[in-house]
Each structure stands twice: as C-alpha cells, then as structure tokens.
Amino acid sequence: MSVFVEVDHIDKVFDLPGGGQYIALKNIELKLRQGEFVSLIGHSGCGKSTLLNIVAGLDKPSTGGVILEGREVRRPGPDRMVVFQNYSLLPWKTVRQNVALAVESALGNLPKGEQRSIIEHHINMVGLSRAADKYPHELSGGMKQRVAIARALAIRPKLLLLDEPFGALDALTRGNLQEQLMQICQESQVTAIMVTHDVDEALLLSDRVVMLTNGPEARIGQILEVPIPRPRHRMEVVNHPRYYALRNEIIYFLNQQKRAKQRQVKPTVAVARHGLEKVNLDIGFIPLTDCAPLVVAQEKGFFKKYGLEEVTLSREPSWQAIADGVANGRLDGAQMVAGMPLGMTLGMGGKAPLPIITALVLSRNGNAITFSRRLYDQGVRSLADFKASLSQTPDKVHTLGMVHPASMHNLMLRYWLASGGIDPDSDVSLTVIPPAQMFSTLKAGTIDGYCVGEPWNSRAVSEGQGVVMATDLDLWAGHPEKVLGVREDWVNQYPETHLALVKALMEACEYCDDRRNRESVLELICRPEYVGSDPAYTRPGFIDPYRWSLDEPPASMLRFNQFYVDRSTCPGRSEGLWILTQLARWGITPFPKNWIEILERVRRVDLFGEAARQLGWPDLEADREPFALFDGVVFNPDDPLGYLERLTLGRRPVQVEEVLIQPPAETLSPR
C-alpha cells in the first residue's frame, strides 16, 4: 500500500490543573492511501476530535507524529483543511467573500482571474450560486455547512478533515449534503478523515471505519473495511448484502465500550506502609527456567525496593494448581501460561467465568517440541515423517504431552501438527502432564513426545532420551509465554500493590535479559527451592548454544529465553486475540463475539503503561499489524474469524458467542 498519510504512534497527554496528567490518546497508529475516506467513531471523550486536530496541525502530539506525503506535520497549512461542526464562517462576509478569503490566502500566487474561477466553481459545486451574495445569517444550517465545504475544497487541500460536519443538521439536509460530499470526494479524489457519531453516515461515506476505545488512553480498538463499491448511492448502500452485518459490528463495538465504561471502579485508598494497601504476598510459580524474573525479584531485592516487604514464592506442582490457587485466593497472583487469564475469564473447562487480568508478560519463547529417541531412530526426522509414521501404524495411539489446555505449549503443538495435516484430536492423543514429570514420563515410554519449557527438553537430549523437532523460534519467534496473572477484583482492591508488583517484576525482567547477568541468574534458579535443576541441563538456550540432538552440533539461539528486549513485557492485545482464536479453534473455549471487550478486560495494557511510566520506561504496545507464524498464514487482528476459517481442518465448527462476565459478588478479604 502506498502511504499518503501516516499517523505514527501518537500519544496525547494533558496536564491537569491540580497536578497529574490525563492521557487522552495512546499509541494511535494509522496509514491512509491517497483518495481514501476514513471515519473515526467512538463514544464521547475518546479523543476523536483531538486526533483530528493533531492531524490538522492545530494541536501537537505528546509523542509520535503525523506524516503527510513524506513530510512531518508541525503546524496548520493549506494542504489540510478542516470543516467544523459550527461552520466557522465570518458573519460580516458573504458566501463568495468567505470562500474568496480562503482562496486568496492559500492560492494568492495565482492570477486574479483564475482565483475568481476557482471561487465560482466551488460555490456552484455545492449548489449555492444563487446565494453567493448572501451573509451567513441569511442562510440555513445546511447552506452554511455547504459554504464551509466549498471553502475547504476551494484551496485544493491534500487532506480534508471533517469534525462532525453534519451533526447539527436535520435529516433531509444531512442526507443531501452527504451525497454531495461523497460525489465531490469521488470526482476530486480527495483524501478525507471524518469524525462522526453516526454509524450509517460512517458506512455510507467511508472506505474504512476506525473505532476508538474509551478514554482515558483511548486506542484503536478495531478497523472495519467497508467493501461496498463506489460510486455509492444511499439506497444501494443500504441494500448491499453486507450493510447490516457491518452496521451491527460497529454498534456491537460501541456497546462493548459502553459496558466497559459502566464497569470502571474507583481504586481503594492505600492503608499500609509505602502507600501500598498490602505488603505481604504469596505468588505462585512453576519450576522452569523462565520463572527467572520472579526469582530475581526476590533474591535481588526488587520486591522490597517497591515496598513489598514479604513476598513468598510458592513452588506449585502444576499449572492447574496455579489456576486453583489464584481462583480460591490462596495465592495473590502467579506466573501463568499465556492463555490462562483468558481461559479462566471465559470459563474454560466448564468452570464459572472468573475475570483474571495480566498487565505484564514475564517471558517469551523458551519451549520446544521433543520426540522420543525411539521415534527418531525409526526415521521420524520431520513433521512429514511423523505423519507418514501415523499412516503406517494406524492401530497404534501416539501420545504427546503438554502442560495445560490454555498454554502456548498446547496451542503451538496443535498448530504445528495441524500444519502438517495431523488432527491433534483424532490422529494423536494429547495429555496434560506437569512440566517436572515430562522427562520421566518420556523415559518410561508412556508418551512419544511433548511440548514443554526448559530444562526438560535439554535434559531429554543430554540423556539420549529425546530429540528436539522444533523450538518456539521456528514456530513463532517472540510469542508470549508466561504472564503475571491476578484476579480482577484483587487488582481493584489493591491497585497500588499491584503496580508495585508489576514494577518490581519489570525491573527483574530487564535484569534477566542482560547477558552479563545470566550466570548469576542461572545460579539462583538452579537452587533447590526454585527449579532445582542441574545447571548442565539449564544452560542450553539460556546461556550456551542450544542442542537439538546428540547427533548435531549445538546452535546459537540468543532469543530462546526472552524477558525484556523488543517490548517483551507489554501484554499486547493482538497476540492475545491470536490466543483466543486458537482456544476456539480446538473447542477449549468459545470465541467471544465481544472479543474487544474481553481483551481490554484481561490484557491490561493501561496498567502496564502506568507502571512503565512510573519507571520512566517506554510504554508502547506492539503495532496492531497483521502477522504470520511459520506457515505463512496471515493473522489480521481486525478479522479473527476470517483467520479461523482459513485455518480450519474442516472437522469442527467454531463456536462464537457473547461472553458477559460479572465481577465476583464479594472482593477478597485481606489475609
């Protein structure tokens, strides 16, 4: 796509009179093609007009910027023209004089005769030739708005900006003007951005509708393509077979945002020392290499640095124990597999939905798919070999281990198998095994392979029991692996404590990704009270080159364990949406029709951003661009169901339903 206008990661922050700040817009990233018409829609207070003013050069972003035809927008200019809702006409000048003022200011270098021709042409274009000598007070509201449009177009702007231009007009006048604007933009190939509250207006005029979430920290929640051919006429648009589906999608988005606003709670008042509501915490973890940030925060004093006086790290036997501990309040929070907060919020496994949030990704990558050495010696050296082996032994059930249904281990293993034409639900048997039991189960011959984190793959390779078939870096480099998970009502009850916990762990993540610290981190995690593993099994991928099998030399994999670099700690919503598609693909949870609402509730980028700003660190979420895994199938975060349709094996329909989740009736009692 040739980019004509680029809104490049804009934030807008306002200083409040009594101190503090209000973040109106957060990480707004948008690209427009020349001749494209884009509408901005969202509830009042979401920053639509603020964004329009920034594009116009009437306001400056706090961070980021706007690029128009390769040049940064720094101030207002004749290449951008704004049409305001209140017309903004000079009352002492006639229609002709109002238009002439703009033309003379912007195109004063042209001969007077050519200027007059431009003025008259645009007055005629909007049907006001008979009213050219009238003053604004002699005109109706619709006529005034037509003057404003004529004035804007007369200076031949590269970009037309419309701020609810028809909001104050009656329905008939509004309809006529919309038709005229559409015709003018089509004929003149004008690029336009319009702010509107009118869903039908947005669909009639737009090529794309950009939907903004609620403020503060309003973001782009969804971008809807409007595939209705041009030229358009109102009745043809309304009768288009996709019109009502598109209309319902916009209204559904707005209703989700309305519910989110009603759900906002006021934080409680801090009652403990250091401004925290609670200073003694129990945090669960699983003994794996990537529990390193929790161990480092404990042993290097980051918890105490932020006022958390006594944090007990509770070594748990399984991911199910983690989920149960957080659900019943035994644990204040925990290291969780990436899909667990979403799964618990949606009521995975037939349990009552329990809102769980994550404001921090603790680690990325770190897993591998390992097959038994026996399969390798039988000639299974690739996914294609494995499929052939299944065909040759149809009576044998091949069993593969994974750690939890909502884990990336399960989702990536299934994705990998399905990419090779293997149905993970019928061609093989997948079973849940706690990570620490994976190696012994493989060695006993009970399973044929597994997907797990380290050190259990490296141990299988080192002891000649297994061969690594693929790592995360082969399948989806940089995917979220472990996150900090806490109950939503716990965060509402202890907001400052939660922020302190996030900040301590963010510093620990940074410490873990400094390669100079890896030896000391290794010594800490190998202690008996944490992972308790032999350092020889824990070094590969973490410090040393990674070994796939005893028959091959080790390979350098610097990002095998990733904790901080490349904005690793931000719980991005696009990657969370990918997880939702896979949970639905395999029937683990329904796909939530209100997926934007679920993601905003679970993947708390706002709380991550608050913690990052308090640390003085960057707080940007990853771009919401389409991406692909190893198989090249593109995931578009604005079309998750279309992605699922392209992935389906043709054996199971995806269940889509609205998931409305109420917070628990009672908040947790302090222990």
| The token pair that represents 231 in the structure block | 């030229």
User: Are 237 and 275 found together in one domain?
Assistant: no
- Name the residue range of residue 430's domain: 265-671
DSSP string, 191-255: EEEEE-S-HHHHHHH-SEEEEEPPSSSB-EEEEEE----SS--HHHHHTSTTHHHHHHHHHHHHH
Domain boundary among 244, 262, 280: 262
pLDDT at 581 exceeding the cut of 90: yes
Between these two residues, 132 and 302, which has the higher pLDDT value? 302
8 Å CB contact between 155 and 131? no
Residue with tokens 């992605």: 643
Residues 639 and 437: their CA atoms lie apart, in Å, by: 39
Structural domain includes residue 152:
no
pLDDT in tens, 9-51: 999 999 998 888 899 999 999 999 999 999 999 998 899 999 9
pLDDT confidence bin for 265, thresholds 50/70/90: low
Closest CA to 512 of 528, 530, 525: 525
User: Are 187 and 283 found together in one domain?
Assistant: no
pLDDT in tens, 539-573: 999 999 999 999 889 999 999 999 999 999 999 99
pLDDT confidence bin for 188, thresholds 50/70/90: confident
- The CATH number of whichever domain residue 48 belongs to comes to 3.40.50.300
Give the pLDDT of residue 669.
46
pLDDT at 666 exceeding the cut of 90: no
| The token pair that represents 322 in the structure block | 């983690």
pLDDT at 276 exceeding the cut of 50: yes
Domain boundary among 211, 234, 262: 262
Residues 529 and 129: their CA atoms lie apart, in Å, by: 85
Angle value at C-alpha 553, between 549 and 559, nearest 5 degrees: 85
What residues does 590 pair with on adjacent strands?
none
Amino acid at the residue 262: Q
In sequence order, which ranges of 368-513 are alpha helices (DSSP H)?
373-377, 383-392, 408-419, 438-443, 456-462, 472-475, 488-493, 495-512
DSSP string, 593-612: TTHHHHHHHHB-HHHHHHHH
- The CATH number of whichever domain residue 363 belongs to comes to 3.40.190.10
What are the respective helix, strand and coil percentages of the chain, to the nearest 5? 40, 20, 40
Closest CA to 102 of 179, 39, 146, 155: 155
Residues 6+ apart with CB under 8 A from 665: none
Structural domain includes residue 151:
no
Alpha carbon of 319 to those of 334, 353, 433: distances in Å?
10, 18, 9
User: Are 182 and 254 found together in one domain?
Assistant: yes
Strand 480-487 relative to strand 361-365, pairing:
antiparallel
Structural domain includes residue 88:
no
8 Å CB contact between 644 and 591? yes
Structural domain includes residue 97:
no
Q: How much of the chain exceeds pLDDT 90, in percent?
A: 72
User: Are 368 and 219 found together in one domain?
Assistant: no
Residues 326 and 284: their CA atoms lie apart, in Å, by: 8
pLDDT at 273 exceeding the cut of 70: no
pLDDT in tens, 63-110: 999 999 999 999 988 888 888 877 788 899 998 999 899 888 888 888
Read off the pLDDT of each residue in 225-233 and give the average, rounded to a whole number.
91
pLDDT at 270 exceeding the cut of 90: no
User: Are 634 and 661 found together in one domain?
Assistant: yes
Give the pLDDT of residue 664.
54
User: Are 204 and 227 found together in one domain?
Assistant: yes
**Cβ count near 556 (within 10 Å):** 9
Longest Cα–Cα distance of the chain, Å, equals 94
Read off the pLDDT of each residue in 470-481 and give the average, rounded to a whole number.
96
Residues 629 and 614: their CA atoms lie apart, in Å, by: 34
**Cβ count near 642 (within 10 Å):** 12
Read off the pLDDT of each residue in 274-293 and give the average, rounded to a whole number.
94
Give the pLDDT of residue 129.
87
User: Are 272 and 212 found together in one domain?
Assistant: no
Residues 529 and 487: their CA atoms lie apart, in Å, by: 26
| The token pair that represents 500 in the structure block | 């302190």
* CB neighbour burial string for 181-193, b if at least 16 within 10 angstroms, e if fewer: bbebbeeeebbbb
Sign of CA dihedral 480, 484, 489, 492: negative
Give the pLDDT of residue 115.
86
pLDDT confidence bin for 671, thresholds 50/70/90: very low
Domain boundary among 243, 262, 281: 262
Note the Cα 349 to chain centre separation in Å: 25
Residues 442 and 371: their CA atoms lie apart, in Å, by: 9
User: Are 246 and 387 found together in one domain?
Assistant: no
8 Å CB contact between 284 and 254? no
Give the pLDDT of residue 196.
93
Angle value at C-alpha 559, between 451 and 438, nearest 5 degrees: 20
Q: In degrees rounded to 5, what are phi and psi of residue 612? A: -65, -45
Read off the pLDDT of each residue in 614-631 and give the average, rounded to a whole number.
91
Read off the pLDDT of each residue in 416-432 and give the average, rounded to a whole number.
95
User: Are 196 and 316 found together in one domain?
Assistant: no
| The token pair that represents 459 in the structure block | 């141990």
Sign of CA dihedral 275, 329, 342, 510: positive
User: Are 376 and 455 found together in one domain?
Assistant: yes
Structural domain includes residue 141:
no
8 Å CB contact between 392 and 386? no
Read off the pLDDT of each residue in 357-380 and give the average, rounded to a whole number.
96
Q: Which range among 85-89, 523-527, 637-641 shows the weakest confidence by mean pLDDT?
A: 85-89
8 Å CB contact between 619 and 613? yes
Closest CA to 319 of 280, 355, 291, 360: 291
User: Are 69 and 27 found together in one domain?
Assistant: yes
Element (H, E) at 368: strand 367-372
Residue with tokens 């809104």: 7
Structural domain includes residue 174:
yes
pLDDT at 667 exceeding the cut of 50: no
pLDDT at 220 exceeding the cut of 50: yes
Task: Quote the number of domains for the chain.
Answer: 2
Q: In degrees rounded to 5, what are phi and psi of residue 508? A: -65, -40
Between these two residues, 76 and 652, which has the higher pLDDT value? 76
